[in-house]
């Protein structure tokens, strides 16, 4: 019974177990929650669930444009920025400093530097938690301008005494964060990450405004939280998350794990290489083909393995999946020939392939298999590929990429997705994440 399971996942992460460093643990787990969930400061109760989905789809397009500009960035300092203003869909609770100050941050697989708004604020956006005051934190240290850490930033400038390293990122859409590169203790659940390099943002604004208090950078670059874990807490550079379905339950949460807790194991695990490409922030995979209804659709006409290697990034902060255009078009024409239902337009005009069907109707949506390099065949169920966007309108949640293909978060629902930076592997394990 392939009753259309169009359930938007929208998650929240609220569960948490952690091993403390003191006890010799080498990993920890916390909850992830979706930005539209009831646990989120961004939840807007005046929006319908259809509006929330449509907004998430719109954000997907602006995020994909931002990620693309990052890939294509000419290497001038101010354009090449490791922070994405449209910074993601999932939030997590962390604390910073000694004594710890709590905040809610966007968990972003598309950026590296972890930062929060800091006092004194020359310009800050409103946040739901009190602002972090570095003067009150006994573990806060400025990062010196002569350090390699400072020099690893694409853009920095030095204070007159060389004791401070100012970072600054600005974006075409007027979003920005400026502040001091620093180190301080980050606490997630009860796990302590001492001397973590962070950005202390004294001037922040633009599309961040009204959102959360900062970013947890989960990218693959040197300054990301994951990349630092080995040196700051002697734990393996790996993390995994599990994004659940979001039906009508806005309280549902997922999980994110780090270090030893992030090992993905068991008989159903499939893995594919993480491909090294620029920028190292992004997680590039190789999508070889897609199968649907016994048809195998190749990702590229030319069979050159070189052009295919690293042809798609995986991202938790993009809702839709963007496929290379030829593959998307082949997929749509195959789906059109297989799904026997009345086609309608997406009322918001965002998505292309929509059917007149509500949540209870049986559209017989076929399983779509994404074939990643190394024999990693990811079976996408209807809930990973279609969504109810309005009453009685169900649409394909895949779209053609303008240039950068992205495997988005709807496609990752009900998988444990493991990022192993030590062994350069990404794993999927089908699971019920709720």
Ligand X SMILES: *[C@@H]1O[C@H](CO)[C@@H](O)[C@H](O)[C@H]1NC(C)=O
Question: Which chain residues interact with ligand X by CB under 6 A?
Answer: 38, 44, 46-47, 126, 140-142, 159, 164, 180, 210, 249-251, 358, 391-392
On whether the CB atoms of residues 29 and 407 are closer than 8 A, the answer is: no
Rounded Cα–Cα distance for residues 190 and 182 (Å) = 22
Q: Which residues of 375-410 are buried (b: 16+ CB within 10 A; e: fewer)?
A: ebebebbbbbbbbbbbeebbbbbbbbbeebbbbbbb
Spatial neighbors of 311 by CB under 8 A, at least 6 apart, are 284, 285, 286, 287, 299, 300, 324, 405
* Catalytic residue list contains 315: yes
On whether the CB atoms of residues 159 and 145 are closer than 8 A, the answer is: yes
* Cβ distance to ligand X smaller for residue 125 or 328: 125
**Least distance between ligand X and beta carbon 161 (Å):** 7
**Least distance between ligand X and beta carbon 120 (Å):** 9
* Cβ distance to ligand X smaller for residue 97 or 273: 97
- Closest by CA to 401, choosing from 71, 48, 77, is 71
**Least distance between ligand X and beta carbon 166 (Å):** 9
* Cβ distance to ligand X smaller for residue 75 or 248: 248
Spatial neighbors of 303 by CB under 8 A, at least 6 apart, are none
Q: What is the DSSP string of 84-132?
A: -SS--SEEEEEEETTTTEEEEEEEETT----EEEBSSPSB----SSPPB
* Cβ distance to ligand X smaller for residue 107 or 200: 200
**Least distance between ligand X and beta carbon 390 (Å):** 8
On whether the CB atoms of residues 414 and 433 are closer than 8 A, the answer is: yes
* Cβ distance to ligand X smaller for residue 138 or 307: 138
Catalytic residue among 36, 112, 184, 315: 315
**Least distance between ligand X and beta carbon 252 (Å):** 8
**Least distance between ligand X and beta carbon 70 (Å):** 26
Half-sphere exposure of 304 (CA within 13 A, CB side): 4
* Cβ distance to ligand X smaller for residue 111 or 137: 137
Token look-up 């240290």 returns 141
On whether the CB atoms of residues 125 and 204 are closer than 8 A, the answer is: yes
On whether the CB atoms of residues 190 and 20 are closer than 8 A, the answer is: yes
Active site residues: 108, 315
């Amino acid at each position: 019974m392939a009753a259309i399971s169009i359930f938007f996942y929208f998650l929240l992460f609220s569960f948490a177990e952690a091993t403390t460093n003191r006890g010799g643990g080498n990993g920890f787990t916390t909850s992830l929650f979706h930005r539209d969930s009831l646990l989120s400061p961004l939840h807007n109760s005046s929006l319908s669930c259809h509006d929330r989905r449509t907004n998430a789809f719109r954000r997907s397009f602006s995020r994909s444009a931002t990620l693309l500009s990052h890939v294509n960035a000419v290497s001038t300092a101010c354009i090449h920025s490791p922070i994405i203003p449209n910074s993601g869909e999932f939030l997590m609770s962390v604390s910073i400093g000694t004594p710890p100050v709590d905040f809610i941050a966007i968990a972003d697989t598309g950026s590296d530097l972890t930062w929060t708004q800091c006092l004194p604020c020359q310009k800050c956006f409103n946040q739901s938690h009190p602002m972090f005051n570095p003067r009150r934190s006994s573990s806060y240290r400025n990062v010196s301008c002569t350090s390699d850490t400072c020099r690893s930033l694409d853009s920095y400038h030095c204070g007159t005494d060389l004791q401070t390293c100012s970072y600054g990122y600005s974006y075409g859409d007027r979003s920005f964060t400026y502040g001091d590169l620093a180190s301080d203790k980050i606490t997630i659940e009860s796990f302590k990450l001492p001397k973590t390099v962070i950005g202390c943002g004294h001037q922040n604004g633009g599309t961040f405004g009204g959102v959360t208090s900062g970013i947890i950078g989960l990218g693959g670059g040197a300054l990301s939280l994951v990349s630092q874990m080995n040196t700051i807490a002697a734990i393996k550079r790996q993390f995994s998350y599990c994004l659940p379905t979001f039906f009508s339950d806005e309280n549902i949460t997922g999980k994110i794990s780090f270090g030893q807790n992030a090992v993905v194991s068991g008989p159903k695990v499939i893995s594919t290489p993480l491909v090294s490409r620029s920028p190292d922030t992004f997680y590039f995979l190789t999508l070889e083909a897609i199968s649907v209804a016994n048809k195998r659709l190749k990702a590229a006409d030319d069979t050159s393995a070189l052009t295919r290697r690293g042809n798609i990034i995986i991202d938790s902060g993009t809702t839709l999946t963007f496929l290379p255009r030829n593959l998307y078009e082949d997929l749509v024409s195959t789906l059109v020939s297989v799904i026997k239902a009345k086609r309608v337009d997406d009322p918001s005009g965002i998505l292309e392939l929509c059917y007149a069907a509500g949540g209870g109707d049986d559209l017989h949506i076929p399983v779509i298999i994404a074939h990643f390099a190394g024999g990693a065949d990811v079976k996408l169920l209807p809930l990973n590929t279609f969504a109810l966007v309005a009453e009685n309108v169900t649409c394909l949640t895949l779209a053609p990429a303008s240039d950068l293909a992205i495997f988005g978060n709807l496609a990752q629902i009900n998988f444990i997705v493991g990022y192993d930076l030590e062994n350069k592997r990404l794993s999927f394990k089908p699971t019920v994440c709720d």
